[in-house]
Structure 1
Amino acid sequence: MPTTLSSKGQVTIPKQIREALGLATGCAVDFAVNREGDVIIKKASPNPGSIPDRFEAARGKADVKWRTDDLMTLLRGEN
C-alpha cells in the first residue's frame, strides 16, 4: 500500500492498517525500525505510572447543566 510523504513528513495510514491496529483519531502510535530496515508501527500502550492528562480525566464529569446567563451572573456576583 504505497502512500506519499508530505512536505511536513506526514503520511496517511491506510484505513485497512488503522482498522487492523484499532487506531482512531487521537490514538498514540509507536514507530520502530527493525534490523532489515522495515518500519514497525503499533498502537502505543499507556505508560504504567504515567500522570494522566488532568483535562482528559475531567472531561464529561460535570453533572450540573448551567445556562450561560445563570453561570455568568454567578461568576460576576450580580444579583
Structure 2
Amino acid sequence: MSVVVTTKGKVTIPKPIRDLLGIVPGSRVDFRRAADGTIVLTRVDKRPDATRFARLRGHAGAGLTTDAIMALMRGATLS
C-alpha cells in the first residue's frame, strides 16, 4: 500500500493497517528504523488484547450456531 505525503509531512495510515494494529484516534505510534533500513510502525500505547467476551460484544458473527457461540465463549477455537 502506498500513500501520499502532504505538504506538512502528514500521511493517512491505510485502514487495513490501522485495523491490524488497533490504531484508533488518539493512539500513539512509533517509527523505528530496522537493521535492514526499513521503517517499522508500531503502536506504543497498545491496550491488552480484548477478552474472549469483549470480542463477542455487539455481534455473534455471521452464521454462527448457538453451539459455536458457546464454544467461543468457553475459549475454544473454531477451525
TM category (shorter chain) comes to 0.5 to 0.7
| Cα-to-partner distance string for 1:12-57 (whole Å, 9 max, x where unaligned) | 10000000000000100011011222110011138xxxxxxxxxxx
Within the alignment, does 1:35 sit opposite 2:35 as a pair?
Answer: yes
Q: For 1:12 and 1:41, locate their aligned partners in 2 and report how far apart those are by CA, in whole Å.
A: 13
Map of 1:6 onto structure 2: 6
- TM value normalised by structure 2: 0.54
Mean Cα deviation higher: 14-23 or 30-39 = 30-39
Stretches of 4+ aligned residues off by more than 6 angstroms: none
Q: Which amino acid aligns with 1:10?
A: K
1:28-67 equivalences in 2 (<5 Å): 28-45=28-45
Q: Which residue of 2 aligns with 1:50?
A: none
Q: Whose radius of gyration is greater, 1 or 2?
A: 1
What percentage of aligned pairs have identical amino acids? 37
Gaps of 5+ in 1: 47-79
Instruction: Output the amino acid matched with 1:43.
Output: R
* Conserved 8 A contact 2:28-2:44: yes
Report SS of the residue matched to 2:3.
coil
**Partner secondary structure for residue 45 of structure 1:** coil
Q: Which runs of 5+ in 2 are unaligned?
A: 47-79
What is the CA–CA distance in structure 2 between the aligned matches of 1:23 and 1:4, rounded to whole Å? 19
Aligned residues: 46
The one-letter code sitting in structure 2 at the alignment partner of 1:17 is I
Give the partner amino acid of 1:18: R
The 1-side partners of 2:13 and 2:45 are apart by 18
User: Contact 2:32 / 2:40 at 8 angstroms: preserved in 1?
Assistant: yes
